[in-house]
Amino acid sequence: MRKRLKQLLILTFTLILSLPTLIYCDDNNKVDRYSKSSILIDQTTNRVMFEKDPDAKRPLASLSKMMTFLIALEAIENKEVNKNDIITIDKDMAKVKGSSYHLKVGEKVPLYELMKGLMIVSGNDASIAIAKHISKDVNTFVQRMNDKAKELGMTNTTFVNPNGLPIYDLQNPKALPKENISTARDIAKLGKYMFDNYEKEVIAITDMQTYSYPERGFQKNNTNALLGIIPAVDGIKTGYTGNAGYCLAFSMVVDKDKDNEIKHRMIGVVLGANHKEKRTSASLSILRYGKENFTTKKVIKKDQLIGKKYIKGLEELEVTLKSEDELYATLKNTENLKSQITLKELTYPVKKGDTIGVIKYFTEDGQVIGSVDIISANDVDNISLITKIKMIFTD
């Protein structure tokens, strides 16, 4: 039955991507009918393509492990640890309940295998092993998670452990548990940061549909069902607890084509679905909406000529203006892009590369899409005596 449902989802997604583009619909519940909060962003441009209550604080469940994974990647990069380090499993690691990598006391496991167990099979025990190896104790590691969240601007996120399990007060069973809390928007920020800085390392693990470690006699499928439905999906992480519901952070590559001028990636998050199949359906619908209703195009080239400006209005003091960088924009099919140039008052001398102003791009409803600095393409710093006299008389 589950195999037939999976085949049906693959067929459905293939068919809907081949249909004509949908008319844009403002009713978010028609795009995402199943989650409590969701968001879809473009990694390259950071454009929000879809959102549904994206700033509501909700339990995070195992999406927490994205931050645990990121801290591990950074620790390896900083040479605090090595991915081939062998970790001896202790009681604190092995006793963790919930989704498990089935670690046993005394077992010796490489850090990199624990990272796979963390992200692919959602091992709660693996998260504790990683935390203790990197920071010696779990509390110190959790503080590092919170510090990183603050650094990334995840202003609505708080971690209490490395795996997302609720922590109950056994002395007060009626009290609400302590839990990792975040928002769809914050988790999208985390996903974007991971791909911006560690794309190769991330997809080497999150894109694996099946994880096998023969030395431990362990094999299990990735908990992310989207990997088997859409070939272009390459991550990221599932999550579930009773309080959090079914959650998913996901990523999908969109190839360069007649509508998209660069290959790029969509990153999405759904929180709080009440069934794992509804979590999958919500994610598929959001990806479909983003692919059908948005395109990514270059709006300005690097070193593109903007115009010319003259110091004190003198022709011999001509400054050529050009764009410092290129800029891509993700736009709805129905949107038109407007631009606005703001320039500084020019004063002598001007050096090549000096920032002269900025060009901003925005939609018709005023949403800023991006901006590029305008710089000088030439030096104006060696003038004749006659020009110096002209400058005096133009003051």
Q: Is 320 exposed, middle or buried (0-12, 13-18, 19+ CB in 10 A)?
A: middle
Judge if 57 and 99 occupy the same domain: yes
For 326-355, how does the pLDDT look when each residue is reduced to its tens digit (9 = 90+)?
999 999 999 999 999 999 999 999 999 999
Judge if 237 and 323 occupy the same domain: no
**For the chain, what percent of residues have pLDDT higher than 70?**
93
Annotation marks residue 256 as catalytic: no
CATH number for the domain including 280?
Answer: 3.40.710.10
Judge if 321 and 275 occupy the same domain: no
Contact between 350 and 328 under an 8 Å Cβ cutoff? The reply is no
**Per-residue pLDDT at 28:** 78
Q: Which of 259, 275, 295 is the last residue of a domain?
A: 295
Judge if 16 and 71 occupy the same domain: yes
Rounded-to-integer distance, Cα 51 and Cα 98, Å: 30
Judge if 20 and 123 occupy the same domain: yes
Annotation marks residue 65 as catalytic: yes
**Per-residue pLDDT at 387:** 83
Contacts of 79 (CB under 8 A, 6+ apart): none
Q: Which of 275, 295, 315 is the last residue of a domain?
A: 295
Annotation marks residue 132 as catalytic: no
Burial 207-244 (b: 16+ CB within 10 A, else e): bbeebeeeeeebebebbbbbbbbbeebbbbbbbbbeeb
Range of the structural domain that residue 176 is part of: 2-295
Given a cut of 70, whether residue 277 has pLDDT beyond it is: yes
Residue 298 β-bridge partners: 328
Judge if 119 and 207 occupy the same domain: yes
237 is in an annotated binding site: yes
Judge if 332 and 280 occupy the same domain: no
Position with higher pLDDT, 391 vs 363: 363
Rounded-to-integer distance, Cα 164 and Cα 31, Å: 28
Judge if 287 and 310 occupy the same domain: no
Taking residues 73-83, what's their average pLDDT?
98
* Eight-class DSSP state of 163: S
Of 36, 65, 309, 322, which residue is the catalytic one? 65
Retrieve residue 23's tokens.
């008319």
Of 38, 99, 122, 283, which residue is the catalytic one? 122
For 160-202, how does the pLDDT look when each residue is reduced to its tens digit (9 = 90+)?
999 999 999 988 988 999 999 999 999 999 999 999 999 999 9
Judge if 201 and 321 occupy the same domain: no
Contact between 225 and 120 under an 8 Å Cβ cutoff? The reply is no
Taking residues 278-297, what's their average pLDDT?
97
The domain tally of the chain equals 2
CATH number for the domain including 316?
Answer: 2.60.410.10
pTM value is: 0.89
Judge if 69 and 172 occupy the same domain: yes
Confidence band for 19, pLDDT divided at 50, 70 and 90 = very low
For 231-264, how does the pLDDT look when each residue is reduced to its tens digit (9 = 90+)?
999 999 999 999 999 999 999 999 999 999 999 9
Judge if 314 and 247 occupy the same domain: no
Confidence band for 4, pLDDT divided at 50, 70 and 90 = low
User: How many residues are recorded in the chain?
Assistant: 395
Residue carrying structure tokens 């509390």:
139
Of 35, 37, 38, 62, which residue is the catalytic one? 62
Q: Which of 280, 295, 310 is the last residue of a domain?
A: 295
Judge if 177 and 306 occupy the same domain: no
Retrieve residue 307's tokens.
């115009």
